[in-house]
Amino acid sequence: MRPNEAEPPIKVAIADDHALFRAGVKTALSAKKDVELIAEADNGMQLLNLLRHIEPDVILLDIQMPIMDGIQTLPEIKKIRPAAKVIILSMHNDHSMISKLMEIGANSYLTKNSDSETIYQAIKTCYENEFFFNELTNKALLTGLRTKRTDVFGVQEAELSEKELRVLKLMCEEKTTKEIADIVEISPRTVEAIRDKLKTKTGAKSMAGLVMYAVKNGILDEAKS
């Protein structure tokens, strides 16, 4: 979280081969004081070269680009800048593609007709909470999990305590660590400990894995109801 305006802005890089789209995003973000576009690339190779010299907090990554597309670029981003959050941009809402990209490290997935406010919210939410889930990603993850014959995210069913279940539901609602701590009346450190325990119990490797587990077991549906 950024408690006051003195905090430095969220540094953003974009890789997209359409200069007009990049210009539109740049114009939209320039109106936001807490976000700064620090780099532009028109293909994955160019982006990876830039990442050796800059450290963006969030990367907007187009799927279809010449020379090196987003699917090839994503794993390489994670090697060079593992802490960077990656938001995939695409003209398509292919559920199997979304599910695959989330599994290999994407933090969100937006269609390129998303309005500028949605892109801004995705940047902020990924930076603060690691993931930005929307109707598109939730449906894709649910579809992906239903079609998988084996549970690749670990233990199929875990015995979760009432407190662990409550914390997991709040995570699915995109609450921050501090917000969860305030709601459950525990310390932020305890929230982090519970999150680690949830990963161990469910076999999830990341926050995405935890949310996928919640979707599969109906916990996300309960949280939304």
Decide if pLDDT at 150 tops 60: no
Residue type, 121: Q
pLDDT digits (tens, 9 = 90+) for 60-108: 999 989 899 888 999 999 999 999 999 999 887 777 778 778 777 888 8
How far apart CA 178 and CA 36 sit, in angstroms, is: 25
- CATH no. for residue 181? 1.10.10.10
Give the Cβ contact number of residue 117 at 10 Å: 10
What mean pLDDT is predicted for residues 117-128?
91
Split into its structural domains, the chain has a count of: 2
Decide if pLDDT at 155 tops 50: no
Domain end among 85, 112, 145: 145
DSSP string, 58-126: EEEEESS-SSS-HHHHHHHHHHH-TT-EEEEEES---HHHHHHHHHTT-SEEEETT--HHHHHHHHHHH
Locate 168 and state its tokens: 């997991």
pTM tops 0.75: no
Do 54 and 120 share a domain, yes or no? Answer: yes
Q: Which residue has the tokens 């279940």?
A: 165
Do 30 and 76 share a domain, yes or no? Answer: yes
Do 134 and 170 share a domain, yes or no? Answer: no
How far apart CA 127 and CA 107 sit, in angstroms, is: 9
Grouping H, G, I as helix, E, B as strand and the rest as coil, residue 176 is: coil
- Domain span at residue 134 reads 10-145
3: in domain? no
